[in-house]
Amino acid sequence: MNNAFQSRIYDRADASWFTPSQKHVWESLQRFDGPPYRVINVYGTEGTGKTFLGKLLERLGYATYQVWPSVHQPLLSRLTLDDIVPSRTSTRDIRPLVDRYHIRQIILLSSMRVDERDMAAFELHVTEEDINWVRARIFQYFNITLPEKHYPNYKLALASLS
């Protein structure tokens, strides 16, 4: 997918762009909002929409989006950190940020589940229903038809438009 089209999607994105799987994760995030869930994990393989979700959470005023390890004082009461290495060592470095920045919660976006049993974690995946949702949004907002075929993730689906 070319970056210009990706930017056009981000420019139009709002809560209506949440696919059914992303909406489920969004609802879970709201149920696990704040203490004792100071750090939670959203994970999924490449192309499942983790970065899109993180950027959309910022647009909705829910969480400041940043890419790890380049972290600075968030503007919102929650912080979403993308590209987290899913290890206990990483989370040990991240947990103190809640107190340092006086924020409510940190949402970690990673390719695999963080290896901490007590951390709430939600997996993002892509279903055929999700692809159909994206297909409808792209047609609705850009009058572009996503070819009818099976796509295992959003990256491949959007790459087919190039």
Closest CA to 68 of 89, 47, 48, 49: 89
- Domains for the chain: give ranges and CATH numbers: 3-123 (3.40.50)
Cα distance between residue 92 and residue 85, in whole Å = 12
Residue 4 has pLDDT above 80, yes or no: no
Residues 28-59: tens digit of each pLDDT: 999 998 888 999 999 999 999 999 999 999 99
| pTM of the model as a whole | 0.91
Residues 90-147: tens digit of each pLDDT: 888 898 999 999 999 999 999 999 988 889 999 999 999 999 999 999 999 999 999 9
Residue 52 is predicted with a pLDDT of: 93
Residue 1 is predicted with a pLDDT of: 47
Are 153 and 126 in contact, with CB atoms under 8 Å apart?
yes
DSSP secondary-structure letter at 45? S
